[in-house]
Amino acid sequence: MNKFAAILYDSFLEIKDRKIFYFYWLVAGVLIIVFGLLPSLNINGRDILEGNLLSPEVLNGFIARFFDGFLGFVIFLLVFGSAGLAPSFLSKGRVELVLSKPIDRWRLLSMKFLAVYLVKAAVLAVMATAIWLTLSLRLGMFNWGFFPGLLFACLQLLVVYAIVFFFGVLTNSAASAIMGYFVIRIGTDLLASRKVVYPLLGEKSLWKTILDGVYHVSPKIGEMSENIGPIMTGKGMADFYPVWSTVLIAVVVFLVTLLYFNRKDY
């Protein structure tokens, strides 16, 4: 526990020293000010924000749609800001010092992964909760479905970071980790729409089987994120398959990362 606490504190200091850490809070601060000072919106002399002109369902839908996009944007920022942490951890000089400690390699890397994730998840949670509270006070209502949606976003962040972490350890490069993630993200988004081209491939095409196979073994991050809005509005998950299959793939990717790190000669 003491070793993990030390790695957690070291990871926090490393993240705090990066300039993008302050950009997170700048974004949150701007949105808090905007929502806190949101002017009255009048229809026939009635303020739609304070006069119960809009139904709670409409306002809940507005909040869910906003946070659906906002949480995705913050996860993107967190990916961008965390891509260099694994390569930095494994940089020449530092990695020799880290590996000299009397602790298993797989356990050491697991603690580093968990430490960075906890810091990033805390940033996501604090930013989103502060903005939600400000917006809720301004609207005069509280959409408690925000918190299950936030927990789901933290799960999505875990999946995304497992992929970024894999590329960071594999290539020892922040740029390669970012590019690797976005290649996966764009590719899987295209695969999600693969049925559009099926009529062009013929009735019994080998390409259909290949595309289906690649789709099922790929992380479905875009489709997974489509569940945030429905969860916040109380409708539950729109589609459970992209969630459990993506989480399973992320676990496999992380285990491969540990195996690679455990066998690599530094």
List Cβ neighbours of 148 (8 Å cut-off, separation of 6 or more). Answer: 231, 232
The pLDDT of residue 93 is above 80: no
The per-residue pLDDT for range 169-212, each reduced to its tens digit, is 999 998 999 999 999 989 988 888 888 877 777 667 788 888 88
CA distances from 1 to 6, 61, 121, 255, 258 (A): 9, 43, 20, 22, 20
CA distance 14 to 12: 5
Within 13 Å and on the Cβ side, how many CA atoms surround 117? 20
**202-211 burial: b if 16+ Cβ within 10 Å, else e:** eeeeeebeeb
CA distance 155 to 246: 10
The model's pTM: 0.88
Q: Which ranges in the chain belong to alpha helices (H)?
A: 2-16, 20-36, 56-82, 85-89, 94-99, 105-139, 146-171, 174-192, 198-201, 206-216, 221-225, 228-232, 241-263
Q: Which long-range contacts (CB under 8 A, 24 or more apart) does 130-135 make?
A: 130/28, 130/32, 131/28, 131/31, 131/32, 131/35, 131/70, 132/63, 132/67, 134/31, 134/32, 134/35, 134/36, 135/35, 135/63, 135/66
The per-residue pLDDT for range 27-47, each reduced to its tens digit, is 899 988 888 776 555 445 555
List Cβ neighbours of 264 (8 Å cut-off, separation of 6 or more). Answer: none
Mean pLDDT of 63-80: 88
Q: CB 223: neighbour CB atoms within 10 A?
A: 20
The per-residue pLDDT for range 120-145, each reduced to its tens digit, is 999 999 999 999 998 888 777 788 88
Mean pLDDT of 240-265: 93
CA distance 222 to 48: 33
CA distance 192 to 210: 13
CA distances from 100 to 103, 163, 202, 239 (A): 8, 27, 58, 46
- What's the mean per-residue pLDDT of the chain? 85
List Cβ neighbours of 72 (8 Å cut-off, separation of 6 or more). Answer: 225, 228
Residue 102: helix, strand or coil by DSSP?
coil
Q: What is the pLDDT of residue 51?
A: 47
Q: What is the pLDDT of residue 251?
A: 96
